[in-house]
């Protein structure tokens, strides 16, 4: 039987024959290697050096104007059985997909260097981590993968010791939108991506491996690969508990992962620790709890909107050793984007003289890539091999009405329905219309590598004897009043909601039972010092039963859209809530000591 390294060498040779590179470079992840690579990119114009005094070690990359976001309509799951991919994915027969994409890969690397990038998703010594190798002709991709993963010699050693690794083949090709495909072959643990140099399409460790292939691996092996942040909340007694939370793009995910407590909470001794801002792999431990790692080693964050007020931790960490993509620049060569309170742009993200009439200075989906350890709130537990124990799972979305600030699911099955029913307005991170409401189950609609109905079944399977599962909640920071303004201040004040959530986990916080779940009474939330009127508080936490009846009917139709594979348990849960909505009065559930 061939070793993983023999299998890797054969695959590299096969790819080289197909793509015909000028040379092959095996990446070792060293500082000398990345220094040389950066010098080459600065010389070629792939990178532009930024102000060394204000932003030491930082550079700017400009992608093609037609290559600035994920391309969901060109992203395929290629399983032998179409139903295994499900209606939530674009499907293509594996043989057809290989033939189509290999024809584009033929000779695609002529005159270019082919980089072989071994990487580990998660701490090198964690049993939850999984390895992969990306072959790419983009030095920009190599530089990003070095930040985003544990890349190089240590990963190659782990690959040599293990039986399998995910194979990712990438080429920027001609950057032609008509010759662009992101193909996933879950049964082969393989990815092929061509025609894009942008983030999630090209950094194959990210969404392609960590979520699409990862979710398939997770189902096969009994764990969960999720589009979730992981954050630790330390209370004044010095106890830290960990929360995993799923939000669609641009719903405050990174802000919550790096939350800075309000002044009164800081003075009382509350602290927030960042484990991860985007992806969470969770596995049941011997103790029955879910233990989680962040498989990424860096952040690939959205720049616009990042400022002192919205996310001071993120702003602080990207002042050095950061790769910026598609932001504007100031006269003294500092990066600039909309939402930044200081500086004025002179060039836009395409390198043109900045003209507001031609659009924003920074592309709405412009990014920064930075090592996780540069975050001021980074926790050393992010490197813990066993992961961190998860006390609560939070689902959220951008809903201007209907959904209250926070509610708790009654049990695990109800929580799975809450996650399945998530809806949010679309954002610039995906191509297409902005501001349209769509269901985005567990924030995984663009990322689940198999049939959503099977995915919900997998989630339900964790509810078994001996399991000590996290409580599940839903939050909505974006509810608006009749005047169109947000009712909740958000940002650091969201810790007040997390405090209630953790209070529910340990039985010290009260709630009111409603048909949709357990909602805090106004007295159950710490609103001290907030300029929120009693009327606004009632609106924030209110349940419009008639509107919720319409919502449950829409959720029922959504679930039915997945056909016969949809678990009956989830449909029963939906029907039970729909029946309860019209008749069940709210009743108060007080904490044992409250």
- The reply to whether 251 belongs to the active site is yes
Distance CA 528, CA 511 (A): 18
Smallest CA-to-CA distance from 256 within 240, 232, 237, 236 is with: 232
* Domains 4-47+71-222 and 226-297+380-589 fall in the same CATH topology: no
Q: Which fold has domain 4-47+71-222?
A: Phosphoenolpyruvate Carboxykinase; domain 1 (3.40.449)
Residue 498 has pLDDT above 70, yes or no: yes
DSSP 488: S
Query: Over the stretch 8-36, which tens digit does the pLDDT of each residue have?
Result: 999 999 999 999 999 999 999 999 999 99
**What are the angstrom distances between the C-alpha of 282 and each of 21, 183, 292, 381, 412?**
39, 25, 4, 15, 15
Residue 325 has pLDDT above 70, yes or no: yes
Residue 234 CB: number of other CB atoms within 10 A?
Answer: 16
Query: Over the stretch 158-170, which tens digit does the pLDDT of each residue have?
Result: 999 997 899 999 9
559: left (phi over 0), alpha (psi -120 to 50) or beta: alpha
Instruction: Name the CA radius of gyration of the chain, rounded.
Output: 24
**What are the angstrom distances between the C-alpha of 577 and each of 410, 543, 580?**
11, 13, 5
Residue 222 CB: number of other CB atoms within 10 A?
Answer: 11
Distance CA 444, CA 454 (A): 13
pTM score, whole prediction: 0.95
CA 267 to chain centre: 31
**SS3 of residue 535 by DSSP:** helix
Q: Which residue has the higher pLDDT, 584 or 261?
A: 261
What percent of the chain shows pLDDT beyond 70?
A: 95
Residue 190 has pLDDT above 90, yes or no: yes
Cβ atoms of 494 and 476 within 8 Å: the answer is: no
> What local confidence, expressed as pLDDT, does residue 436 receive?
65
**SS3 of residue 203 by DSSP:** coil
CA 79 to chain centre: 24
Residue 564: pLDDT band by 50, 70, 90 thresholds? very high
Query: Over the stretch 37-78, which tens digit does the pLDDT of each residue have?
Result: 999 999 999 999 999 999 999 999 999 999 998 899 999 999
Distance, first Cα to last Cα, the chain: 64
- Residue 482, exposed/middle/buried by CB under 10 A (0-12, 13-18, 19+)? exposed
DSSP for 331-354 reads: TTS-EE-TT-SS--EEE-TTSSBP
3 state SS for 154-173:
HHHHHHHHCCCCEEEEEECC
179 membership: H or E segment, kind and range = none
Strands 290-293 and 388-396: antiparallel
Smallest CA-to-CA distance from 375 within 306, 444, 326, 443 is with: 306
Residue 588: pLDDT band by 50, 70, 90 thresholds? low
Task: Name the active-site residue from 251, 280, 375, 448.
Answer: 251
Residue 219 has pLDDT above 80, yes or no: yes
Residue 1: pLDDT band by 50, 70, 90 thresholds? very low
Mean pLDDT confidence for 468-485: 95
Those residues whose C-beta lies under 8 Å from the C-beta of residue 317, and which sit 6 or more positions away, are 299, 370, 374, 375, 376
Residue 428: pLDDT band by 50, 70, 90 thresholds? low
Query: Over the stretch 435-447, which tens digit does the pLDDT of each residue have?
Result: 567 899 999 999 9
Smallest CA-to-CA distance from 192 within 311, 98, 273, 84 is with: 98
Domain ranges of the chain: 4-47+71-222, 226-297+380-589
Smallest CA-to-CA distance from 524 within 503, 543, 506, 542 is with: 503
Query: Over the stretch 387-411, which tens digit does the pLDDT of each residue have?
Result: 999 999 999 999 999 999 999 999 9
- Residue 326, exposed/middle/buried by CB under 10 A (0-12, 13-18, 19+)? buried
What percent of the chain shows pLDDT beyond 90?
A: 91
Mean pLDDT confidence for 283-296: 97
Beta bridge partners of 551: none
Strands 113-121 and 224-226: unpaired
The answer to whether domain 226-297+380-589 has CATH 3.90.228.20 is yes
Cβ atoms of 121 and 132 within 8 Å: the answer is: yes
Smallest CA-to-CA distance from 170 within 264, 100, 87, 101 is with: 101
Tell the residue number behind the tokens 């090198």, with chain if given. Answer: 124
Distance CA 110, CA 106 (A): 9
Residue 477 has pLDDT above 50, yes or no: yes
Instruction: Report the chain's mean pLDDT, rounded to a whole number.
Output: 95
> What local confidence, expressed as pLDDT, does residue 593 receive?
39
The runs of H, that is alpha helices, within 91-173 are: 94-105, 139-148, 153-161
């Amino acid at each position: 039987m061939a070793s993983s390294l023999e299998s890797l060498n054969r695959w590299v040779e096969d790819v080289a024959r197909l793509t015909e590179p000028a040379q092959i470079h095996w990446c070792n992840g060293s500082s000398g290697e990345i220094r040389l690579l950066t010098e080459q990119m600065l010389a070629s114009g792939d990178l532009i050096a930024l102000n060394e005094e204000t932003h030491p070690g930082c550079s700017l990359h400009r992608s093609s104007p037609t290559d600035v976001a994920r391309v969901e309509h060109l992203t395929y799951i290629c399983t032998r059985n179409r139903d295994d991919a499900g209606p939530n994915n674009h499907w293509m027969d594996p043989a057809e997909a290989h033939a189509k994409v290999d024809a584009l890969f033929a000779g695609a690397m002529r005159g270019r260097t082919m980089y072989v990038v071994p990487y580990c998703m998660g701490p090198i010594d964690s049993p939850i981590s999984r390895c992969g190798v990306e072959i790419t002709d983009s030095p920009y991709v190599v530089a990003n993968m070095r930040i985003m993963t544990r890349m190089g010699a240590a990963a190659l050693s782990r690959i040599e010791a293990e039986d399998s690794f995910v194979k990712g083949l990438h080429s920027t090709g001609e950057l032609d939108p008509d010759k662009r495909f992101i193909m996933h072959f879950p049964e082969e643990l393989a990815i092929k991506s061509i025609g894009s140099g942008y983030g999630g399409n090209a950094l194959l460790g990210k969404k392609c491996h960590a979520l699409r292939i990862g979710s398939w691996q997770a189902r096969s092996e009994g764990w969960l690969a999720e589009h979730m942040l992981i954050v630790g909340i330390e209370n004044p007694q010095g106890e830290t508990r960990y929360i995993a939370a799923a939000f669609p793009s641009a719903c405050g995910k990174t802000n919550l992962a790096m939350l800075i407590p309000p002044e009164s909470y800081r003075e009382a001794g509350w602290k927030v620790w960042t484990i991860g801002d985007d992806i969470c792999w969770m596995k049941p431990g011997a103790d029955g709890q879910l233990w989680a790692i962040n498989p990424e080693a860096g952040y690939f964050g959205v720049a616009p909107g990042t400022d002192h007020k919205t996310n001071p931790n993120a702003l602080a960490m990207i002042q050095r050793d950061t790769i910026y993509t598609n932001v504007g620049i100031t006269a003294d060569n500092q990066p600039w984007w909309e939402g930044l309170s200081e500086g004025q742009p002179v060039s836009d993200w395409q390198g043109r003289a900045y003209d507001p009439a031609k659009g924003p200075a920074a592309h709405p989906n412009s990014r920064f890539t930075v090592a996780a350890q540069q975050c001021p709130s980074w926790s050393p537990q992010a490197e813990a091999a066993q992961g961190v124990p998860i006390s609560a799972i939070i689902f959220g979305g951008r809903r201007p009405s209907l959904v209250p600030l926070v509610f708790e699911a009654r049990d695990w099955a109800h929580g799975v329905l809450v996650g399945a029913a998530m809806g949010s307005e679309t954002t610039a991170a995906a191509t297409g219309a902005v501001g349209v409401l769509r269901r985005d189950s567990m924030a995984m609609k663009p990322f689940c590598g198999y049939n959503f109905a099977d995915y919900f079944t997998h989630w339900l399977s964790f509810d078994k004897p001996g399991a000590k599962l996290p409580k599940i909640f839903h939050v909505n920071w974006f509810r608006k009043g009749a005047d169109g303004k947000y009712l909740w201040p958000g940002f650091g004040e969201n810790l007040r909601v997390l405090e209630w959530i953790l209070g529910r986990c340990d039985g010290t916080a009260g709630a009111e039972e409603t048909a949709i779940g357990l909602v805090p009474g106004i007295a159950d939330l710490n609103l001290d010092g907030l300029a929120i009127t009693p009327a606004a508080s009632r609106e924030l936490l209110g349940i419009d039963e008639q509107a919720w009846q319409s919502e449950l009917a829409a959720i029922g139709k959504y679930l039915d859209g997945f056909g016969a594979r949809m678990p009956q348990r989830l449909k029963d849960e939906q029907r039970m809530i729909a029946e309860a909505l019209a008749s069940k009065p709210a009743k108060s559930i007080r904490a044992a000591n409250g």
